[in-house]
Structure 1
Amino acid sequence: MGLFDKIRSEFIDIIEFIDNSNNTIVTRFERFQNEIKNEAKLIVREGQQAIFVNEGVIADIFSPGTYTLNTQNLPILTTLKGWKYGFNSPFKAEVYFVNTRNFLDQKWGTKNAVTLNDIRFGMLELRAFGTYAFKIIDSGQFLKEVVGTNGQFTTEDITEQLKSIIVTRFSDAIGEANLPVESYASNLNELSMAIFSYMQDDFSVYGMEVTKFLLENVSMPDEIKKEIFELSRLNSVDINKLTQYKTAKAIEVAAGNPSGIAGAGIGMGAGIAMGNAMTQNYTQSQQGTPPSLPTETTYYVALNGQQSGPFNKNQIEEMLKTGQFLKDTLVWCQGMSEWKKAEEVIDLQNIFMQNPPPLPNN
């Protein structure tokens, strides 16, 4: 290789971008007066795209690979420049590197509470937070719609806009889900999927795609949470025991009330009344409460193809004596699934033993 070739090879540019951060989306390759030498090497790494811009117009876009820049590799730029037979070094163009990898673990949350009208608790305010991931799927669109002429563009530059989109879609999703507010915690995955599907069109207009979305927590006012917990316990806690427990706690508070003589008197009076109530409950639980009086069973009777009654057993016995009521007469009472013959009902079998059957017809 001659001296001229050695000097010439030293002036061949290498255009590349090595990203040492985890938040750079777009960076502009800075050159002195944007001059790029003929036969320069362009290196585009995996997870990147390189965009050549001429006087504000996007020209050529390069995917991962190594390229020698000339009129063959820059067909659009060649057309824009009007090069018919090649170009002389140097030439001017802006080069932007766009990271197309996934940007993971992006945080989102509601700045202000979202108002929801719940059918059980009325108007209430909710807050939520979670994470999402996105990537650039159309680098040219992203450069035009978002970046503009910025030489450096990071995730922080677009975070607030993306959060606004997510919070809006969160509000839409919880409104359309029509779930009781106490069910949100157990349906985070379903809500995440609903919000995820809503956001795709919002991101695509910027040349972006949401690749993952997670709703990690939905919080509500403390008084609503307390009420939900109380209601959930009512189904599993003995009400009498719960009342006794709360009475005991109230006595404890009253006994420790340091509000002076008057307050002490009120506390003592309340304590005595509560103590009496506890004693009464305890005595009843020890002695047992008498069972409720038995109720008389009444029956509906099928007479002449019509439903009649209800009748008690004494009335049915009178009907038996007059021949109106027979063993095969159909009867029904509360708790029976269907009409049955009287002789099949255990409770009525004894009346047939106490009364003689009707006389046969002569």
Structure 2
Amino acid sequence: MGLKNHLLKVIEWKDDTHTSIVYRFPVDDRYAIMQGSRLIVNPSQAAVFTSRGRIADVFGPGSYKLDTDVIPILTKLANWKYAFENPKDADVYFVSTKQFTNVKWGTTNPIMMRDADFGAIRLRGYGNFSFKVSDPAKFMAEIFGTVKKFTTEDISNYLKNIILSTLTDSIGESKIPALDLAAKYSELGDKTQEIASDRFAELGLEVTDVTIQNLSLPPEVEKALDERSTMGILGGVMGTYQQYNATHAMRDMAKNPGGSNSAMNMGMGVTAGMAMGQMMGQQFTQGMGAKDAPKTAKCVKCGADIKVGAKFCPECGAKQTEEGKTCPNCGATVKANAKFCSECGAAIVKKCPKCGAEVKGKSKFCPECGEKL
């Protein structure tokens, strides 16, 4: 009777903490796991039997009557040959296989990012991730050890370091510009989850989600981005941005011409003045170039561009003046068959070569003297 009273009839773990990952069922000198005991494994749990430092048997959700048929490995290790023989070296651990969500992560130290426009940038960020135990036996072997209880707090810092390390790799591999980071949080989270999966699997874990809530740029970079947005040159035209910055420097210097920083202001003024001078010089040169550009005309024969007033074409050598009529309005020479003057637009009137009378329309004879035209 004495020994039978020490029999554990039900072995079960009812987790009320919602943060426990592993729970060691209390088995001491007063109690013993005997044949005939009932093992109850609730949903989202696994029961792991260990003996003499080795993992013996793993049970998924269900109800089990412990005997030599149900736990053959433990029977072999602990010599369960007879009923009520006390296997003193056996322990029972319950492992939670549910998903642990909303585990916070954040950057303790900045993440380095290399950007095409701004060079090396220090990023800070935060978010959360979710994970679960996918292989209880591997998790027990790699992480747990022999403590009585193991919670998310005991492993969260280690997992956070994995997330931050893989996030750094994700940012480097994606080559996303700093300007576009805010629009790529989901893409970076998926990439980080993909890279972290292998490292989690080595621990018997599965990362089920990685969420990036914020990636913040240094204040000076954010200010530069705001100014570039104002200029409408988000494509990266840094020359115009420098000119814009020089203009603001000159404006600020004009507001405070004196003070103890006059030498520094003078240097800034010279720099700003040079930038403004270059900008104005370029505009002046462009304006003069547009004003002094020579006018051109088309060759009457080959159509090449030639200088207005040229008598011969430099390409084909054709003479540019043609024998023809004189405009009665402006005196310009026009083609013989022209109906209007190309200079003033006046109508060209045909005259009789004999009497000089004006001949209109397509008449073949002069209406005054009868001369054939």
Equivalence for 2:54: 57
Give TM-score scaled by structure 1 length.
0.68
The amino acid that maps onto 2:138 is: Q
Are 1:310 and 2:308 an aligned pair? no
Q: What percent identity do the matched residue pairs reach?
A: 31
Are 1:44 and 2:57 an aligned pair? no
Distance in 2 between residues matched to 1:180 and 1:164, nearest whole Å: 24
Equivalence for 2:274: none
Report matched runs for 1:162-311 at 5 Å. Answer: 162-235=159-232, 298=296, 310-311=305-306
Equivalent residue in structure 1 for 2:144, among 139, 143, 147? 147
Which protein, 1 or 2, shows the higher relative CO under an 8 Å CA cutoff with sep ≥ 6? Answer: 1
Distance in 2 between residues matched to 1:70 and 1:122, nearest whole Å: 67
User: What is the CA deviation profile of residues 29-81 of structure 1, one whole-angstrom value per residue up to 9, with x for unaligned ones?
Assistant: 01223621321111100000000001111011110011111111111111212
Equivalence for 1:96: 93
Distance in 2 between residues matched to 1:161 and 1:196, nearest whole Å: 16
Structure 1 residues 105, 251: CA separation in 2 closer, same or farther (over 3 Å shift)? same
Distance in 2 between residues matched to 1:115 and 1:301, nearest whole Å: 64
Contact 1:12–1:38 (CA under 8 A) maintained in structure 2: no
Contact 1:106–1:133 (CA under 8 A) maintained in structure 2: yes
Give TM-score scaled by structure 2 length.
0.66
Consecutive unaligned residues in structure 1, runs of 5 or more: 267-291, 327-348, 357-362
Residue 191 of structure 1 and its aligned partner are, at CA, apart by 1.1
Equivalence for 1:18: 14
Structure 1 residues 201, 300: CA separation in 2 closer, same or farther (over 3 Å shift)? farther
Structure richer in helix, relative to its length: 1
Contact 2:301–2:318 (CA under 8 A) maintained in structure 1: no
Distance in 1 between residues matched to 2:77 and 2:300, nearest whole Å: 100
Please identify the structure whose Cα radius of gyration is greater.
2
Are 1:76 and 2:73 an aligned pair? yes
Structure 1 residue runs of 4 or more that deviate by more than 4 Å after TM superposition: 7-12, 241-252, 292-297, 299-304, 322-326
Residue 144 of structure 1 and its aligned partner are, at CA, apart by 0.4
Equivalence for 2:130: 133
The amino acid that maps onto 1:314 is: G
Q: Secondary structure at the match of 1:76?
A: helix
Residue 112 of structure 1 and its aligned partner are, at CA, apart by 0.4
Contact 2:79–2:87 (CA under 8 A) maintained in structure 1: no
Residue 223 of structure 1 and its aligned partner are, at CA, apart by 0.8
Residue 118 of structure 1 and its aligned partner are, at CA, apart by 1.9
> RMSD of the alignment, in Å?
4.0
Consecutive unaligned residues in structure 2, runs of 5 or more: 235-240, 266-289, 322-340, 349-373
The amino acid that maps onto 1:136 is: V
Residue 300 of structure 1 and its aligned partner are, at CA, apart by 7.2
Structure 1 residues 59, 300: CA separation in 2 closer, same or farther (over 3 Å shift)? farther
